[in-house]
């Protein structure tokens, strides 16, 4: 779908992030008055920018809930707390729901079933927190323009359903007329860190769909640790922000290896690094061999339970970007 100009979207001809922020703040204040607003803050670009905008507009009238489902990347929940609670002084409710999610997911191997459980559990945890708060009138959401105009976008994957009827809040959607790059520009102008503003796409069900089949804690840790190494080495190698999406996968398969003269029976880590514009098609990033070797060496020596590293060369189509 062709991109609409800022004029066509009713934002005027000379759009700048700074002017947009001023107008958005006025509009938010006019809409919510002295009412309380609730936001599910995942740490993704859209919800983070909405949080930063609302903190600037209404400060402590905003209540952010960050649900850690135990499937986030290494360091992510800590960054949300650091940025929003410590730097921006927001009302941030941090919920570590790892046990609740992993218990519900135990033994479940079907990918759609896993997504449904994660989506439903997320709503339940968020609703539980919302019920504890008194007098909430509004729900803020990081809806962006492509969510409205396209049915195929990344968020079409969201399987989360809606909040229960008794939590029927009025919506506040301050970035709904913006494309992603404009949302990022607003985030940057609001002072959010680059690692948040230029974050690669990350699926709602998180590392859960990269720990193939039934999720186990040890294999999930292998996904999280190998992903952290991959991201660190991509950043050092100057690929951060250049490659559209990159991550690791740990399938529920074992192969033989040898360590200290003894036979091992461990998992492989699969590296995926793709380029795309809208996730409907993707090509493979040509990672330099020395970098691939470095990542492989580090994963093999630092990640527990892993004895093999593979690089996935399959484009979309025929493969999808995620493995499930
Ligand atoms: P696929 O695997 O379908 O992925 O080629 C396309 C893009 O969508 C992301 N993705 C998801 N995002 N919830 C999300 O929010 C999901 O369940 C989900 N599944 C895939 C994927 O990371 C890629 O960017």
- Whole-Å CA distances, 227 to 17, 81, 84: 32, 21, 24
Distance 155 CA to ligand 1 centre (A): 8
209 C-alpha to ligand 1 centroid (Å): 9
Nearest of 43, 53, 29, 40 to residue 133 by alpha carbon: 40
Give residue-wise pLDDT tens across range 216-231. 999 999 999 999 999 9
Query: What number is the average pLDDT over the span 176-204?
Result: 97
Widest Cα–Cα separation across the chain: 71
Pairing of strands 262-275, 255-259: antiparallel
Q: Is the pLDDT of residue 162 over 80?
A: no
Q: What does each C-alpha distance from 228 to 58, 188, 190 come to in angstroms?
A: 35, 24, 27
- Confidence band for 157, pLDDT divided at 50, 70 and 90: very low
pLDDT at 158 over 70: no
Q: Whose CA is nearest to atom 8 of ligand 1?
A: 154
Ligand 1 center to 323 CA (angstroms): 10
Tokens of 142: 């990081």
What atom in ligand 1 is closest to the CA of residue 245?
A: 24
Q: In the beta sheet, which residues pair with residue 36?
A: 136
Give the mean pLDDT of 180-187.
98
pLDDT bracket for residue 154 (50, 70, 90): very low
Which of 200, 316, 322, when mutated, tests ligand 1's pocket best, judged by the most ligand atoms within 8 Å of its CB? 322
Q: Give me the pLDDT at residue 242, please.
A: 94
Residue 177 confidence (pLDDT) above 90 = yes
Q: How far is the CA of 55 from the centre of ligand 1 (A)?
A: 29
pLDDT category, 151, cuts 50, 70, 90? low
Task: Using pLDDT thresholds of 50, 70 and 90, give the confidence band for residue 2.
Answer: confident
Confidence of residue 155 (pLDDT cuts 50, 70, 90): very low
Give me ligand 1 centre to Cα 247, in Å.
Answer: 12
pTM: 0.94
> Which atom, in ligand 1's list, is nearest to the CA of 204?
15
When pLDDT is cut at 50, 70 and 90, the band that residue 131 belongs to is very high
CATH 3.40.50.620, the chain: domain bounds = 17-197
Hey, what long-range contacts does 22-26 have (CB within 8 A, 24 or more apart)? 24/53, 24/57, 24/174, 24/175, 24/186, 25/53, 25/56, 25/57
- Dist CA 50 CA 48 (whole Å): 5
Q: Which residue ranges does the chain devote to CATH 3.30.300.10?
A: 210-311
Choice from 115, 200, 203 to test ligand 1 binding pocket (greatest atom count within 8 A of CB)? 203
Please give the distance, rounded to the nearest whole angstrom, from the Cα atom of residue 246 to the centre of ligand 1: 12
The mean-pLDDT minimum among 60-74, 160-174, 234-248, 300-314 falls in 160-174
List, for residues 276-302, the tens digit of each pLDDT value: 998 999 999 999 999 999 999 999 999
* Rounded average pLDDT over 169-177: 97
Do the beta carbons of residue 55 and residue 70 sit within 8 Å?
no
Regarding the domain delimited by 210-311, which CATH topology (the fold level of the hierarchy) does it fall under? GMP Synthetase; Chain A, domain 3 (3.30.300)
Q: Compute the distance from residue 279 Cα to the ligand 1 centre, in Å.
A: 8
Distance 86 CA to ligand 1 centre (A): 31
> Does the N-terminal peptide bond of residue 318 adopt cis geometry, omega within 30 degrees of 0?
yes
Q: Which pairing describes strands 262-275 and 283-284: parallel, antiparallel, or unpaired? A: antiparallel
Ligand 1 surroundings by CB, under 6 angstroms = 115, 154, 157-158, 201, 203-205, 245, 279, 316, 320-322
Q: Is the dihedral of CA 257, 247, 52, 242 positive or negative?
A: positive
> Could you identify the residue written with the tokens 């729901």?
97
Distance CA 205, CA 245 (A): 16
Class of residue 258 by CB neighbours under 10 A (exposed 0-12, middle 13-18, buried 19+): exposed
pLDDT at 166: 77
The first and second tokens of residue 183, run together, are: 């949302």
Q: Does domain 17-197 have CATH number 3.40.50.300?
A: no
Can you give the pLDDT at residue 165? Answer: 80
Within 13 Å of residue 99, how many CA atoms lie on the same side as its CB? Answer: 2
Q: Give the Å distances, CA to CA, from 301 to 98, 229, 252, 294, 298.
A: 27, 11, 20, 11, 5
pLDDT at 164 (0 to 100): 83
**Average pLDDT of the chain?**
95
143, 150, 279, best to mutate for ligand 1 pocket (most atoms within 8 Å of CB):
279
Cα separation, 220 vs 53, in Å, equals 34
Please state the atom number of ligand 1 nearest to the C-alpha of residue 319. 5
Ligand 1: distance of its center to the CA of 276 in Å? 12
Which atom from ligand 1 is nearest to the alpha carbon of 282? 5
Q: Which residues, listed in sequence order, are joined to residue 255 by a DSSP beta bridge?
A: 266
DSSP 24-66: HHHHHHHHHTT-EEEEE--SSHHHHHHHHHHHHHHGGGEEEEE
Element (H, E) at 157: none
Q: What is the pLDDT of residue 118?
A: 98
The residue with tokens 């489902």 is 69
**Minimum CA distance residue for ligand 1 atom 10:** 203
């Amino acid at each position: 779908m062709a991109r609409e100009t800022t004029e066509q979207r009713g934002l005027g001809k000379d759009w700048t992030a700074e002017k947009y922020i001023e107008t958005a703040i006025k509009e938010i204040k006019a809409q919510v008055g002295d009412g309380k607003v609730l936001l599910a803050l995942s740490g993704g670009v859209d919800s983070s920018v909405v949080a930063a905008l609302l903190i600037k507009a209404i400060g402590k009238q905003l209540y952010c809930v960050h649900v850690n489902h135990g499937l986030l990347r290494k360091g992510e929940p800590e960054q949300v707390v650091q940025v929003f609670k410590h730097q921006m002084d927001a009302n941030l409710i941090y919920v570590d729901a790892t046990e609740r999610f992993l218990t519900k997911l135990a033994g479940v191997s079907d990918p759609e079933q896993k997504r449904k459980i994660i989506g439903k559990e997320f709503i339940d945890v968020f609703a539980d927190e919302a019920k504890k708060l008194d007098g909430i009138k509004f729900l803020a959401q990081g809806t962006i323009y492509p969510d409205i105009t396209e049915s195929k976008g990344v968020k079409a994957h969201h399987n989360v359903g809606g909040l229960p009827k008794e939590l029927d809040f009025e919506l506040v959607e301050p970035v709904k007329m913006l494309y992603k790059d404009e949302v990022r520009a607003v985030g940057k102008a609001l002072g959010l860190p680059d690692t948040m503003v230029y974050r690669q796409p990350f699926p709602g069900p998180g590392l859960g769909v990269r720990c193939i089949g039934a999720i186990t804690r040890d294999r999930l840790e292998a996904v999280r640790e190998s992903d952290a190494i991959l991201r660190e080495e991509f950043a050092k190698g100057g690929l951060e922000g250049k490659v559209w999406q990159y991550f690791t996968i740990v399938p529920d398969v074992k192969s033989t290896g040898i360590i200290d003269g003894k036979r091992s029976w461990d998992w492989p880590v699969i590296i995926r690094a793709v380029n795309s514009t809208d996730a409907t098609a993707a090509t493979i990033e040509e990672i330099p061999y020395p970098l691939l070797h470095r990542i492989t060496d580090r994963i093999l020596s630092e990640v527990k339970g892993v004895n093999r590293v593979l690089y996935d060369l399959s484009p979309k189509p025929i493969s999808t970007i995620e493995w499930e």
